Amino acid sequence: MIKHLRYLLSPLSLFICIVSVLKGNYYPIAFIILFDIVIACGDLLFSEDREYFDNANPAFLNLSLYLNLPLLYILCSLVLFVMTDFNSQWYISLWNYFGVNVLESRANITFLDMCVLFIYTTPLFIATMGTNVGHELTHRKKNKFDMFVGNWLLALSWDCTFAIEHVYGHHKNVGSKEDPATASRNENIYMFTLRSTFKAHKDAWKIEISRLKRRSELPFSFKNKMIKGYMRSLSVYVMAFYIGGLNGAAIFVVWSIIAKFYLEAINYIEHYGLVRVANQPVLPRHSWNSNHIMSSSLLYNLNRHSSHHEKANLKYWELKAYPNAPMLPYGYIQCLHMAFLTPFLYKNIMQSKLDEWDNNFASDDEKKILSTY
């Protein structure tokens, strides 16, 4: 049970961030600096994480996922309130009920606090604690509660495609040109984000319309999961409006865009430059992995990506670390920032990894594909 506690890193980070926003006076800046230092240094200094739980506690491990939903929505709503001058009386009264004066928090928040919360902290957490956790939960297609929590987390960044294209498309097409989430070699990360986003929505619509046609149901109705997903995201913007007015809604639009870039940066590093022959089995060599413990704890073992693609129905604590699979040079969080902020440096570092993959992992047919690039 004690070993399970590290998976509380995500909700605990959200809780501390909420407290820092309530206090203001540069606490939000101090928090995110400390957060980044802990993750980076933990990945660099601690031993690799290859632990596999034979006697897991599913109730506790699932709770660590579910806590992200209320905490992330609380954080987003609070940041919206302190960043705007819209006095939402119901929101003020709600916090007053719990003995918290959010008007005082607004007065204490500094300009630098707002800049960091607006540009970096909030969209980063929407991507990592929102979309990433939504990704885990929407793989559990037969569990209605998990799908509910997962879809509302995805709603924050307009990522309803994750529950459709990612599950039914990406896992089938990974490593091929048909997959929107596989970045080709030397592909610009920002162009990749645009291509991946638009193609994922396009493919998700195709998948969903095809599903409804097979069931003899109208494609443009509330039985369409894409339409329901868009409605969830619109309702988030309505919430933002009632908390922060028009400025609040506009802020959330920007957050959704930045969060999407962070999310696509994760997609970018997961399969960058790897190829696979279409209709051939997806094997451990078709994903980049990392066994760094802090990234693993924060992202719920997303970095054990080969195991995830091998059996997508496995819960995050059931994923195995493959020490002989293709490995990233650093933890997922460090690679995400490097790819997003210094793409030229990331490509240079990854070139040696790609050369290693070509020589040690690629099949003869995959080498033929690479020769055409």
Q: What is the pLDDT of residue 240?
A: 96
Q: What is the pLDDT of residue 47?
A: 73
**Nearest Cα to Cα of residue 239 among 72, 18, 73, 45:** 73
What SS3 string covers 24-84? CCCHHHHHHHHHHHHHHHHHHHCCCCCCCCCCCCHHHHHHHHHCHHHHHHHHHHHHHHHHC
Query: What tokens does 179 get?
Result: 């997959």
pTM: 0.94
3-state helix, strand, coil split of the chain in percent (to 5) is 70, 0, 30
- Domain segments of the chain as ranges: 2-371
**Beta-carbon neighbour count of residue 257 at 10 Å?**
14
CA distance 266 to 276: 19
Q: Which residues are CB-contacts of 191 (< 8 A; sequence separation ≥ 6)? A: none
pLDDT tens for the chain, 373 residues long, are: 667 889 999 999 999 999 999 999 999 999 999 999 999 999 988 877 777 776 788 999 999 999 999 999 999 999 999 999 999 999 999 999 999 999 999 999 999 999 999 999 999 999 999 999 999 999 998 999 999 999 999 999 998 898 899 889 999 999 999 999 999 999 999 999 999 999 999 999 999 999 999 988 888 888 899 999 999 999 999 999 999 999 999 999 999 999 999 999 999 999 999 999 988 999 999 999 999 999 999 999 999 999 999 988 899 999 998 888 999 999 888 998 899 889 999 999 999 999 999 999 999 999 998 888 7
Alpha helices in 67-175 (DSSP H): 68-83, 89-97, 102-108, 111-116, 122-125, 132-137, 144-154, 165, 171-173
Q: What is the pLDDT of residue 119?
A: 95
Q: What is the pLDDT of residue 2?
A: 67
Q: What is the pLDDT of residue 38?
A: 94
Q: What is the pLDDT of residue 44?
A: 87
